[in-house]
Structure 1
Amino acid sequence: MAGSTLSWNLFLKLTVLWIYCGQSAGFNGIWWSLGMSGAGWDVLQNPNAYIVGTNTMCEQQLKGLSLAQQKMCKMYYDHMPPIASGAKMAIRECQYQFRFRRWNCSTIVGDSSVFGPVLQIPSREAAFTHAISAAGVVHSLGRACREGELAICGCSKAMRPKDLNRDFIWGGCGDNIEHGYQYAKTFVDMREQEKNHPRFSNELARMLMNLHNNEGGRRAVYNYAKVACKCHGVSGSCSLKTCWQQLPTFREIGERLKERYDGAVEVKFNKRGTQLKRKHRKYNKPTNEDLLYLEQSPDYCQANKETGSLGTSGRECNKGSDGMDGCNLMCCGRGYNTFKKTLVERCNCKFVWCCHVKCKTCESVKDVHVCK
C-alpha cells in the first residue's frame, strides 16, 4: 500500500519471524480472544502490565496468540492493547449486524475460539468473523497511531488527494490507516501462514479462504478512508480550511462487510489444488473486497453442539415482519409464545431554566413474541 509508515527495518524483522516460525507447533484458540474478558483483555487494560515483563505476558497471559504472534507481541508490545480493542470492537459489531439473524454472533464463555464450533465450518459466518476482526485491528491501530500511543508510528503521511480543493491545506493529524493496514496484515495473516499444507487439502482451502477474507476486512477500512476538514477564519467565516485523512466509522465498515456477507462467493480448488476459484461460473469473479466461503451454512434453527448452533428457541421475534427477524423465519416454523412486558421509561421531559431536564416516569405494556 502506498504511503506506508512501516520502515524497511520492520519488514526485515517480520521476514525473519516468518523464516523461523514457518514450521511452528500447533496451538489452540485464536487472537480474537484478546477482546474477551479473562482472556487477555483484563491484562492489557492494566496500566502496570509492563512490570510483569513481555515474555510472560505474550507467552502465558495473552490467550490465543500463535507462536509467531507471541514473538511479534514481544517486539511490539505497545500494539497489543489496540489489537485487543479492535477485537472487542469487532465482536460487538458482529453481534449488532446479526442481531436479527438466526445466528446472532453469540460468544461462548470460556471458549478460546470466541464463537465456538460454528467457525470450524468454512461458511459465510466464518468469512464475516475473519473479515470484521481484521478490520477491527486496522481501525484500532490507525487511531492509536494518531493518538500517539505507539512508538513506531504517528500521524498519517498519506499523500494529498488529487481532487482536494487547491485552496485547502492538507495537514493536521490524520488517522494512520497505512500503518494499521500493514501491521494488521502481518499480525493477523501470520497465524494462517505458520504451516505448510498439501495441495487439495481441507487445511489449505481453509487457510486460503481465511487469508482472502482477512484482506477483505482490511480493505473495507483502507479503501474507504475519508477526508475531514476544519474551518478557520475570523468569526467562523471559513476563509481557510485544513483537511486530513480520517477513518470511516466502524458502523459503516460493519454494514459494508454485512453486504459482502450477503453477496459472498462460494469457491472451490482450481485444477492444481493450490488456489480457490468461484464454484459457479454464472457469478462474477470475486474481488479482493468480496468474502469467500467453502460450505453452505447450517440453518441454525436447532441447538447443535457439533455445529455450534445455539438454536433460536427463546429468541425474541417481530410478529409483523416478513424479514429474517420475523417470527415465521426466526422461529423456523415452530411458532411462538406471546408475553406481556411492562416497560418503565422517562417521558414528558422538559428543560428547566437553568440548567437541567425534568422528566416524568411512564409505564407501558408491550407484547413480546418469543420463539418456541
Structure 2
Amino acid sequence: MSPQYSLRSLLLVILAAFSANASNWLYLAKLSSVGSISEEETCEKLKGLIQRQVQMCKRNLEVMDSVRRGAQLAIEECQYQFRNRRWNCSTLDTLPVFGKVVTQGTREAAFVYAISSAGVAFAVTRACSSGELEKCGCDGTVHGVSPQGFQWSGCSDNIAYGVAFSQSFVDVRERSKGASSSRALMNLHNNEAGRKAILNNMRVECKCHGVSGSCEVKTCWKAMPPFRKVGNMLKEKFDGATEVEQRKIGSTKVLVPKNSQFKPHTDEDLVYLDSSPDFCDHDLKNGVLGTSGRQCNKTSKAIDGCELMCCGRGFHTDEVEVVERCSCKFHWCCFVKCKQCHRVVEMHTCR
C-alpha cells in the first residue's frame, strides 16, 4: 500500500468518525463568526458538518451565523442547567465538543440534542423577527382580530420558519440514514422535543393604546418564551426522562418504554437508551472531567452537596476572602453609592 493511499484512508476514517455524531455541528459555537463567509466553498471548511449540512450551508449562507448563535445558546444553557451536577456540560476543543458522552444513548445526550435543536430554532426565529435575514421576516399568518377581541399587530415571531430550518439542518444525518436505528429514533425524538418546548410555549404580548394609558385598543403579537424558560422545561424533562427500547409494530420501528409499567412518553418528553456513567472520575478520552476540584455545598443533601458531588472521596475546606458591595445608599438624583466590604468565607472543593 502506497504512503499516499494510507494517508487518504486514515483521513477517510477520521472524517467518518467526525460524521458519526450528529451533534458535531455544535463546533460552530467555537467560531467567532460565520457571517463573514463570502464564498460557498468556505462551507466545506467548517468543522463538524456532514456533507448534506455543507450543502445547506451553501444554500443558506446568511442563516449560518444564526446556527452558530444557536449552538452557543445551547451550550451556555446546558452549562447553566447542569452547573451543580457531576456532569456540568464541560466542552472540549475536539469533536464532539461534549466528548463521547453524547455518542452514547444517555440522558445527557438526550438533553444535548433537545437543547441544541431548540437553540437553532430559537436563534433563526429571532434573526427573522429582527430583520437580519432576507429569506424570512415576521409571521405573516398572524393578523386581523383575535377571538378575544384584540388586534393582531406588531411583529409576531416566525417560529414556523425557525422550526423548519432546525428540522432540516439538525435532523439531516438521522433522516439520511433512514431513521431506522434505535439511536437515530432517539435523536429525532429528542430533537423534536426541544423544538416543542418553544412551539408549545409561545406567548401573547400586548400593548395598550388610548388616552392616558387606557386600553381602548389593544394590539398583540406572538412571541417565543425566553430561552432560559426553554432550558428549565427541558431540564425537568431530563429529570423525568423515559428509558426506551426499539420494537417493531407492524412494519414500523418505534421506541417504547423499557419498563412496561411506565406510561408511554409524549412528544414533549425526553427519551434515552443507555444508563449514564457516574461522572466521578477523570476520563478525558470520553469527555468526562470528573469532580475532583469542583466546588460543593457542605450543607446540601442534594447532588451539589459535598457527599454526592465528591463521590465519597471527601473534600478540602479553605478560608477565602470575598469582596462584596455593602451599605448602599441612594443619592438624589440619581445614583447608588456603595462601600466595599471584606469577609472571610469557607469554600469546599472535592478531593
Give me the TM-score of the superposition, normalised by structure 1: 0.84
> Does residue 308 of the first structure (1) align with residue 287 of the second (2)?
yes
What residue number does 1:211 align with?
188
In the other structure, the counterpart of 1:139 is 122
- 2:79 maps to 1:79: no
Equivalent pair of 2:99/2:285 in contact (CA under 8 Å): no
Provide, for residues 108-164 of structure 1, a one-character-per-residue CA deviation record: whole Å limited to 9, x for no partner: 1x2121101111221000000000000011111111111111112110134469975
Deviations, residues 224-278 of structure 1 (Å, cap 9, x unaligned): 1000001111221122111000000111100100011011111112147833221
Q: Secondary structure at the match of 2:208?
A: strand
Once residues 231 and 340 of structure 2 are traced to their aligned partners in structure 1, the CA distance between those partners, rounded to angstroms, is 35
After superposition, residues 316-331 of structure 1 pair within 5 angstroms as: 316-331=295-310
CA shift for structure 1 position 358: 1.8
Matching residue of 1:185 = 167
Q: Partners of 1:329 and 1:142 in 2: how far apart?
A: 40
State the partner residue of 2:216: 239
Q: Distance in 2 between the 1:231 and 1:208 partners?
A: 46
Aligned to 1:220: 197
Q: Where do 5+ consecutive residues of structure 1 fail to align?
A: 1-24
- Contact 1:300 1:311 survives alignment (8 Å): yes
Corresponding position of 2:44: 59
Identity percentage over the alignment? 49
Q: Does 1:120 align with 2:97?
A: no
- Aligned-residue offset at 1:216: 0.6
Task: Find the aligned partners of 2:52 and 2:200 in 1 and give their Cα distance.
Answer: 28
State the secondary structure of the residue aligned to 1:136: helix
Count, aligned residues: 331
Q: Does 1:129 align with 2:112?
A: yes
- 1:347 corresponds to which residue? 326
What CA distance in whole angstroms lies between the structure 2 residues aligned with 1:340 and 1:368? 6
Deviation readout 1:37-57 (Å, 9 max, x if unpaired): xxxx22325xxx14x31222x
Query: 2:4 is matched with which residue?
Result: none
Partner of 1:335: 314
The 1-side partners of 2:167 and 2:194 are apart by: 10
2:33 maps to what in 1?
A: 43
Q: In the alignment, is the contact (CA less than 8 A) between 2:79 and 2:90 conserved in 1?
A: yes
Q: 1:32 aligns with which of 3, 23, 26?
A: 26
TM-score (norm 2): 0.89
Q: Does residue 136 of structure 2 align to residue 153 of structure 1?
A: yes
* Gapped regions of structure 2 (runs ≥ 5): 1-14
Structure 1 pair 55–357 and aligned structure 2 pair: CA distance change class (3 A): same
Report the RMSD for the aligned CA atoms in angstroms: 2.0
Residues 280/160 of structure 1: CA separation in 2 closer, same or farther (3 Å cut): farther
